Structure 1
Amino acid sequence: MKLTVVGGGSTYTPELIDGFARLRDTLPVEELVLVDPAADRLELVGGLARRIFARQGHPGRITTTADLDAGVAGADAVLLQLRVGGQAARQQDETWPLECGCVGQETTGAGGLAKALRTVPVVLDIAERVRRANPDAWIIDFTNPVGIVTRALLQAGHRAVGLCNVAIGFQRKFAALLDVAPHEVHLDHVGLNHLTWETGVRLGGPEGEDVLPRLLAEHGDRIAGDLHLPRPLLDRLGVVPSYYLRYYYAHDQVVEELREGPSRAARVAAMERELLTMYGDPELAEKPALLAQRGGAFYSEAAVDLAAALLGGGGSPYQVVNTLNRGTLPFLPDDAVIEVQAAVGANGAVPLPVAPLDPLYAGLVANVTAYEELALDAALRGGRERVFEALLAHPLIGQYAYAETLTDQLIAHNREHLAWA
């Protein structure tokens, strides 16, 4: 089995490598290729990756290359974890929207749109090259904004599934609170990428007992604290929103916090410099503890589980993924990409049935889905007017004066990445 990681020079990669090494019985990787144009980063990450495999006795071979076509040749699955423009672009995404009093964030609002516009054309080019190399290869997208990027891939006919670590993070957290094994916790997870709610927490599988009311009653303060949302809000909702709902439920408060700085991008950039220094230590043969602060917790477990299921080698029968709606949420188009529990196997991901969604959540899901459709159109066809329409449609922006200003700022800050600008 050959797997390729595009964006293999990411500081995330040792988390992924650690999972491949620990879970080799689930996903027996024989060859792993790390692809990245940044040769200096790739050398550091690749060296640590090989030492991790050696330390844990993994027999697989790890190679590195800047040649995308060579890297994906013969791959059974390709994982995408790239960041077009790097941390410098992320810093901009998190900064200039604040000038209008709007959230500055890399996956939602104006910053999220900027990232989508930079990313979608690059990902589609990579996917076409993967298809030419092996039309049967699966593409697993971890690149944000996952919902829009996955929709672009599926719309272009690629064998793709989107992946996010929010659900597996909740699963692990709830399992610890309930003192059960993670595989015993099944989430009723519904919504869009970075716009989801846990409407049930079941023990044993999709038909198991729903213990969410007990979790909220006994551990509501801790859950609310982790989400930086007030406990009374969780009690009123009776569900657990993802952390990203804070950008909607506490927008103005978040804007003030972001204005006080430093930005998340600045903190991550500093952390990456420290991590890369660590990766260069020839004695280091495990992922450092600092990596846990970088984000992406449990990414490796989720990626291994998904790849194993898609490649027919095992994996959990039900997994939270980003895939086509296909009538699962009847108020959305069939070709919308939703994030829900799905049955995953060699033929892809099929969403499990979802209980009717309360209008309190369905309205926001419908609104953001409309924005994502406009955002994808802007990413594919370009043009100032399409960017403006997407921003005007986003519930975190909405006002035409803001949309006009943010459109000009987005284009000015991203001109080098926009072929049409």
Structure 2
Amino acid sequence: MKFVDGKMKDVNIAYIGGGSRGWAWTFMTDLALDDEISGTIRLYDLDEEAAGVNASIGNHLMSRTDAKGDWKFEVKTSLQEALTGTDFVVISILPGTFDEMESDVHLPERLGIYQSVGDTAGCGGMIRALRTIPMFTEIANAIKEFSPDAWVINYTNPMSLCVKALYEAFPQIKAFGCCHEVFGTQKVLQTVYEKETGEKIEDWHDVFVNVVGINHFTWFTESSYKGKDLFPIYRSYIDKHFDEGVSIESENWLNANFVCKHRVKMDLFNKYGLIAAAGDRHLAEFMPGDQYLKDPETVKSWDFALTSVAWRKDDLVERLDRSKRLASGEEEMKLEPTGEEGILLIKALCGLSRFVSNVNIPNYALQIPNLPANAIVETNAVFSRDSIRPIFAGNIPEDVKALVDPHIKNHERIYRAATTCDKSLVYEAFENDPQFIGKSCTKEDIHTLVDDMIANTIKYLPEGWK
């Protein structure tokens, strides 16, 4: 890549999972709206046909008169071809299919375990990780061989274990995980502030926060807007509106399956005094199973949803149809900001700006001093030319740390299980997962569930499992 007339040109980005019908389109849209960087997107996907369709969609998008961006989309048929000489690597893959995810999410229901997402924490997140970690180990080794100096941006879940796998396989990798959940909570605070004060916040980025925690279980220890502490304002709103919650007009969810009224995070604030900074569907899965996910009626009472895999399958059919319409020109993609920060982070790493955002990276700098150095944590960091510097976030209060600790320990168990094919570690992780708190099941029940869930995903696991 080269800097010409104040712009960065000839940037090469490898997109692993380039046949995506979700994140790839989001990424294309943001690229088309920005004229400060340009170059080539190398789409690599096991589904080469899907990558080809996205190349057609992306190239058509860039040809439009209202597109500022100047990018060429190319399909690559191997990791070597996609990665060699690239400046950035974006990873957004679905580990397995929705058939495997259906088992991840719904099989535990036989033991009274209900999951609102099932891709990060709990039974679903752990089994998903078993098939994901080997994939990320392979990707990390390919990056080490073909593009060791590239910046690597991961969007795949389970985020913490994906990033951990990258660093374990290639310790010198320049990788980080991006997640928009923190942004959503900044928008909640924007809305609460406007309702409580009658004043307008034009840009949610002006809601400053200190972020601590792990992905999808993050917390704000501080938050302010133009010098005003937002904690008392948030508390005042909760005192008056706890039962009705808060609705965010600008929430960037696909549809009602992803919308909540943020009452779980309000309840967590009342209990712990920190602002839980993720969607309620994610937060609930990290908490004991006798609380927000006790049963479907309890979920409904907290005003969030159990997103079924059947719905995801139906939605995929609709997105496949839309993919055909976009590729044929029957439908045009809307060019409007997506709310994601990926392009802003790439521009900062190119040296075009300096930017602060939340990021998932190892706790090597002890940005959260009372969490392990090898844990993948989420805090703010400063992005600048070829550099990410984590911002010291401080300790997590001990009562909240007690909620986080079981998940960090399970990250270690599941990573070791995935790399050694040791089922006993999966048994141990399930036995220690908070989702089983309050459930009347035996150790034998849990082990049988593990056996059946692994059997349902066995074709995506290494030979050692077979």
TM-score by length of 2: 0.80
Q: In structure 2, do the counterparts of structure 1 residues 306 and 379 end up closer, same or farther at CA, with 3 Å as the change threshold?
A: farther
Give CA-to-partner distance per residue, 1:83-123, whole Å, 9 cap, x none: 12122221221111111222341221111111111011111
Give the CA deviation at 1:140.
0.9
State whether residues 228 and 246 of structure 1, in contact with CA within 8 Å, keep that contact through their aligned partners in structure 2: no
Tell me which residue corresponds to 2:317: 273
After superposition, where does 1:405-420 map in structure 2 within 5 Å? 405-419=448-462, 420=464
1:77 to 81, 85, 88: 88
The alignment covers a number of residue pairs equal to 407
Give the CA deviation at 1:41.
2.3
Give the CA deviation at 1:232.
5.1
Tell me which residue corresponds to 1:309: 348
Tell me which residue corresponds to 1:6: 16
Tell me which residue corresponds to 2:198: none
State whether residues 15 and 92 of structure 2, in contact with CA within 8 Å, keep that contact through their aligned partners in structure 1: yes
Give the CA deviation at 1:165.
1.3
Mapped to 1, the partners of 2:217 and 2:405 lie a distance apart of 11
Give the CA deviation at 1:250.
7.1
After superposition, where does 1:122-137 map in structure 2 within 5 Å? 122-137=135-150
Q: Does 1:67 align with 2:89?
A: no
Q: In structure 2, do the counterparts of structure 1 residues 263 and 343 end up closer, same or farther at CA, with 3 Å as the change threshold?
A: closer
Tell me which residue corresponds to 2:283: 245
Mapped to 1, the partners of 2:231 and 2:376 lie a distance apart of 26
Q: Does 1:148 align with 2:153?
A: no
AA aligned to 1:92 is S
Tell me which residue corresponds to 2:134: 121
Q: In structure 2, do the counterparts of structure 1 residues 89 and 234 end up closer, same or farther at CA, with 3 Å as the change threshold?
A: same
AA aligned to 1:215 is Y
Give CA-to-partner distance per residue, 1:285-331, whole Å, 9 cap, x none: 31599xx9xxxx63xx3211222233333251x21000111322233
Mapped to 2, the partners of 1:74 and 1:145 lie a distance apart of 28
After superposition, where does 1:22-421 map in structure 2 within 5 Å? 22-25=33-36, 28-55=37-64, 56-104=67-115, 105-156=118-169, 157=171, 158-175=173-190, 177=192, 178=194, 179-203=201-225, 208-218=227-237, 221-223=244-246, 226-229=261-264, 231=266, 233-241=268-276, 242=278, 243=280, 244-249=282-287, 251-252=289-290, 253-254=292-293, 256-257=295-296, 263-281=307-325, 282-287=329-334, 298=339, 301-316=340-355, 318-326=356-364, 327-397=366-436, 400-419=443-462, 420-421=464-465
Mapped to 1, the partners of 2:375 and 2:422 lie a distance apart of 22
Larger relative contact order, structure 1 or 2 (CA cutoff 8 Å, min sep 6)? 1
Mapped to 1, the partners of 2:341 and 2:86 lie a distance apart of 19
State whether residues 367 and 394 of structure 2, in contact with CA within 8 Å, keep that contact through their aligned partners in structure 1: no
Mapped to 2, the partners of 1:115 and 1:262 lie a distance apart of 18
Q: Which runs of 5+ in 1 are unaligned?
A: none
Mapped to 2, the partners of 1:99 and 1:364 lie a distance apart of 25
State whether residues 156 and 162 of structure 2, in contact with CA within 8 Å, keep that contact through their aligned partners in structure 1: yes
State whether residues 213 and 396 of structure 2, in contact with CA within 8 Å, keep that contact through their aligned partners in structure 1: no
TM-score by length of 1: 0.88
Structure with a larger share of its residues in helix: 1
Give CA-to-partner distance per residue, 1:323-379, whole Å, 9 cap, x none: 111322233221111011112234543322224322221111122111111111111
> SS at the partner of 2:434?
coil
AA aligned to 2:419 is L
Mapped to 2, the partners of 1:408 and 1:346 lie a distance apart of 47
Give the CA deviation at 1:231.
4.8
Give CA-to-partner distance per residue, 1:21-66, whole Å, 9 cap, x none: 11342xx131112211213322333222222222214222111233
Give CA-to-partner distance per residue, 1:179-234, whole Å, 9 cap, x none: 23133122222110111122322235xxx543132134237654485235285554
Greater alpha carbon shift after TM alignment, 74-83 vs 304-313: 304-313
Mapped to 2, the partners of 1:228 and 1:403 lie a distance apart of 31
Q: In structure 2, do the counterparts of structure 1 residues 213 and 54 end up closer, same or farther at CA, with 3 Å as the change threshold?
A: farther
Mapped to 2, the partners of 1:86 and 1:315 lie a distance apart of 38
Q: In structure 2, do the counterparts of structure 1 residues 213 and 402 end up closer, same or farther at CA, with 3 Å as the change threshold?
A: farther
Q: In structure 2, do the counterparts of structure 1 residues 375 and 232 end up closer, same or farther at CA, with 3 Å as the change threshold?
A: closer
AA aligned to 1:170 is T
Give the CA deviation at 1:396.
2.0
Q: In structure 2, do the counterparts of structure 1 residues 192 and 262 end up closer, same or farther at CA, with 3 Å as the change threshold?
A: closer
AA aligned to 1:46 is A
State whether residues 161 and 348 of structure 1, in contact with CA within 8 Å, keep that contact through their aligned partners in structure 2: no
